[in-house]
């Protein structure tokens, strides 16, 4: 079984889980299309200087064929927030899971309106 944690490395979690799965004997990798401002390690990362769109699409095709299980973070898939690749991965018989961690679930406008102070004022995405 080959597992891919993608396309974001929120708080380093995807790499931590991939490492733990490797310790259990699972072939597992983390992949990020966004470089972490906190420099969390990712097994496979898009080079910011590359032709980003072509690189992301090429990687989506190659990774989609190579891995059996996909764990997606922050409401995005290999092709970003539109999830265009998810129906194709499902037709290929891949197992797909989504992890949500907070900012990707909160109604930031409602939080900002109802709380005097909130991390939602500086967090992305603003819903």
pLDDT digits (tens, 9 = 90+) for 75-114: 899 998 899 999 999 999 999 999 887 777 777 788 788 8
Residues 6+ apart with CB under 8 A from 26: 1, 3
Find the CATH number of the domain harbouring 83: 3.40.50
> Is 118 part of a structural domain of the chain?
no
d(CA 125, CA 40): 20
Q: What is the pLDDT of residues 23-78, one digit of tens each?
A: 999 999 999 987 777 788 999 887 666 667 888 888 899 999 999 999 999 889 99
> Domain containing 23: what range?
2-102
pLDDT of residue 97: 97
The tally of domains found in the chain comes to 1
The per-residue pLDDT for 6 is: 95
Write the CA distances from 85 to 72, 90, 103, 126, integer angstroms.
Answer: 12, 9, 23, 24
Q: Is residue 115 part of a domain?
A: no
Residue 127 lies in a domain: no
Quote the pLDDT of residue 78.
94
Q: What is the pLDDT of residue 19?
A: 97
> For 116, how many CA atoms within 13 A lie in the half-sphere containing its CB?
0
45 lies in some domain: yes
**pLDDT at residue number 123:** 67
Distance between CA atoms of residues 56 and 84, nearest Å: 13
Q: For residue 83, give both structure tokens.
A: 């999830």
Residue 127 has pLDDT above 80, yes or no: no
In a domain, 119, yes or no: no
Contact by Cβ (8 Å): 38, 12: yes
Is residue 4 packed enough to be buried (19+ CB in 10 Å), middle (13-18) or exposed (0-12)?
A: buried
CA 32 to chain centroid? 6
Tell me whether residue 61 is in a domain.
yes
**Residue 7, in any domain of the structure:** yes
In a domain, 113, yes or no: no
Q: What is the pTM of this model?
A: 0.82
Across the range 1-11, mean pLDDT stands at: 91
């Amino acid at each position: 079984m080959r597992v891919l944690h993608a396309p974001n490395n929120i708080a380093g979690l995807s790499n931590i889980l991939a490492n733990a799965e490797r310790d259990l004997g699972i072939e597992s990798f983390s992949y990020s299309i966004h470089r972490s401002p906190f420099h969390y390690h990712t097994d496979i990362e898009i080079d910011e200087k590359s032709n980003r769109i072509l690189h992301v699409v090429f990687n989506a095709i190659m990774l989609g064929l190579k891995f059996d299980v996909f764990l997606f973070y922050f409401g995005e898939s290999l092709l970003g927030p539109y999830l265009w690749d998810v129906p194709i991965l499902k037709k290929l018989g891949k197992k797909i899971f989504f992890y949500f961690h907070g900012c990707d679930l909160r109604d930031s406008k409602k939080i900002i309106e109802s709380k005097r102070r909130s991390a939602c004022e500086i967090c992305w995405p603003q819903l």
